[in-house]
Structure 1
Amino acid sequence: MKIGLIYPQTELGGDPVAVREIGLAAEALGFDHLLAYDHVLGATHDREPKLNGPYTEKQPFHDPLVMFGYLSAITRRIGFATGVLILPQRQTALVARQAADVALLSDDRLRLGVGLGWNYVEYEALGQDFASRGKRVSEQVELLRKLWSEPLVDFTGAFDRVDRAALNPRAARIADGFICADGAADAFAQAARLRDLLDQEGRAKEGFGLQCNMLKAKSPEQVVETALRWHEAGGTHAAFATMGQGMETRGQHLGYIESVADALRKEGMLEG
């Protein structure tokens, strides 16, 4: 199983040095991937309808594709994962281009995880409809696949129209899988449910990626224990978080990352 870490962007004040140091440290310590969350805007929660998500206007976020483009130039091996990019609030063709270029410039090290989001203020600011986001994302995934694989696309959907145009696909590819957040929900129950759904759809379990963002694991020992259980449950990828543990500096985050790497190495779960 491949183990990575979640970039602690909400606790580092948008520090550009932290992006560089944590990205380089993650690669040097032998982690498989660096995962980044996505929010274009934060918003105050004192409004109607209520916003109930975990972030407000006070938490800074880097755009994950921009950050990965930067990190791809200063690293050589580590993979990058969006966990998740809020696809329906974005223009589909633009996401296709941006993701293709990150994949190209990083030598195909990008895994693009997409989802719906919860912040309707972002949707409004980006000119997209919040209520139809579920329907739109299904269409968008279909269009992304076409733009990444076909030399000329003629597509008419309920939300997007591409009139005989081409992305000129190069290195990008899209993988099938699901990202579970263990803490926001029970990732292990989700994994079992996903296997049942794959059976119902007649799809093979082999090759279907299962990533666990290990949000409940708050110590190196808990990270190891959760990662071992996830592997036994058929998981393919897992990432741990340093956020939410009272760390105030990038040095504290880096120290914790190193201690997790040591614990994983003792269990033979990390090379190096």
Structure 2
Amino acid sequence: MQIGVVFPQSELGGDAGAVRHYGQAVEQQGYRHLLVYDHVVGADPDVHAPWRGPYDVDTTFHEPFVLFGFLAGLTSLELVTGVIILPQRQTALVAKQAAEVDLLTEGRFRLGIGVGWNQVEYDALDQDFTTRGRRSGEQVELMRRLWTERSVDATVDGERVHGAGIAPLPVQRPIPVWFGCSSPPAYRRAGRLGDGWFPQVQPGPDLDAARAVVDGAARDAGRDPAALGMEGRVSWRGDTDETVAAVEQWRAAGATHLSVNTMGAGLTSVDQHVAVLDELAAALPSG
């Protein structure tokens, strides 16, 4: 099981030095990948009251593709979006940005995608919130063509690519696409189209039920469920032994990848995040 980290961007602000220090430190500690969350805009709670979302206009988010261009020159980590809100973006532009990151990382890139929950963000980007599930599946199919074909002719939800392509093509053809999943429709899309998936539940009955849907959709599409990757996430809350035990639960559940999250634990500096991850790296078994 490959173990990486969740970039704690909501707690590091806009400090480019913190980004550099964090990325280089976790690579030296032996972590294999860095996963980044995505939001383009945040909602102002005073305008959108009552606001119940986990993030708002004051929560800091780096733009993942630009951030990855920076990190690609600083580390050899695999870079992972976890997840890009794909349906609120132009398909060809995402394909181009992803191809560039894949080139800069020499193929160490996974494109995690999801449909999101924030209609305010969709409105700001002039996309339809209500059709995001269907649109995301069509977008994945078009992106894979753009990553592997010189010239493409296709239409996705009103976006027409007519006799056009991107150059240079990525190293990985196609780039692996992983699905963020928190509902049966998303589980089915992951099984039908994904190279892997990010469950939003923990090991146990809920994960077993979700995986049954993913695996069933894969088989219905003529695919081998065993070929799909699965990435878990464990949040550190002050107890290293507890965190290591949670990591081992994911290993026993068959996860191929796992990310350790240190956000939300009261850490106030990049050095504190790095120190916790250093302690965890020493406690985690290798392999």
Q: Same fold (TM over 0.5)?
A: yes
Q: Partners in 1 of 2:36 and 2:158 — Cα distance?
A: 27
Distance 1:50 1:135 in 2: 29
Q: Which shows bigger deviation, 189-198 or 163-172? A: 189-198
Q: Secondary structure at the match of 2:112?
A: strand
Q: Give the aligned partner of residue 162 of structure 1.
A: 161
> 1:198 pairs with 210, 215, 218, which one?
218
The structure-2 alpha-carbon separation of the partners of 1:85 and 1:249, relative to structure 1 and needing over 3 Å to count, comes to same
Gap regions ≥5 residues in structure 2: 177-194
Please state whether the residue corresponding to 2:230 is helix, strand or coil. Answer: strand
Is 2:286 the partner of 1:268? yes
- Counterpart residue type for residue 147 of structure 1: L
Q: Is the 8 A contact 1:182 1:214 kept in 2?
A: no
Alignment of 1:93 with 2:92, yes or no, is: yes
Task: Report the Cα distance in structure 2 between the residues aligned to 1:25 and 1:33, rounded to whole angstroms.
Answer: 12
In structure 2, the residue matched to 1:113 is 112
Cα RMSD, aligned residues only: 2.1
Q: 1:211 aligns with which of 204, 227, 231?
A: 231
Change (3 A) 1:191 1:227: farther
In structure 2, the residue corresponding to 1:206 is in which secondary structure?
Answer: helix
1:182-235 residue CA offsets vs partner (Å, 9 max, x unmatched)? 46x955553344234334444212321101122476532233222222122121
C-alpha deviations, 1:98-119, integer Å up to 9, x for none? 1100100110111000001111
2:263 is matched with: 243
* Matching residue of 1:255: 275
Q: Number of residues paired by the alignment?
A: 265
Secondary structure class of the residue paired with 1:100: helix
Correspondences of 1:74-93 after superposition (within 5 Å)? 74-75=74-75, 77-93=76-92
The match for 1:11 is: 11
Aligned-partner Cα distance in 1 for 2:91–2:52 = 27
Call closer, same or farther: CA 1:229–1:196 in 2, change over 3 Å: farther
CA apart distance, 1:59: 0.8
| Separation in structure 2 between the aligned mates of residue 199 and residue 147 of structure 1, nearest angstrom | 26
Does structure 1 residue 30 correspond to structure 2 residue 9? no
Normalised by the size of structure 2, how large is the TM-score?
Answer: 0.86
Question: Alpha-carbon deviation of 1:78?
Answer: 1.2
> What residue number does 1:59 align with?
59
Task: Provide the TM-score with structure 1 as the length reference.
Answer: 0.90
Relative to structure 1, the CA distance from residue 6 to residue 37 in structure 2 (aligned partners, 3 Å threshold; closer, same or farther) is same
Distance 2:281 2:142 in 1: 39
CA distance in 2, matches of 1:63, 1:155: 28
- CA 1:187–1:71 in structure 2 vs 1: closer, same or farther (change >3 Å)? farther
- 1:231 has 2:245 as partner: no
The worse-fitting range, judged by mean Cα deviation, of 96-105 and 188-197 is 188-197
SS of the aligned residue for 1:194 comes to helix
Structure 1 unmatched ranges of 5 or more = none
How far residue 156 of structure 1 moved from its aligned partner, in angstroms, is 2.2
Task: Percent identity, please.
Answer: 44
Change (3 A) 1:159 1:139: farther
What is aligned with 1:174?
A: 175
Cα offset for 1:58?
A: 1.4
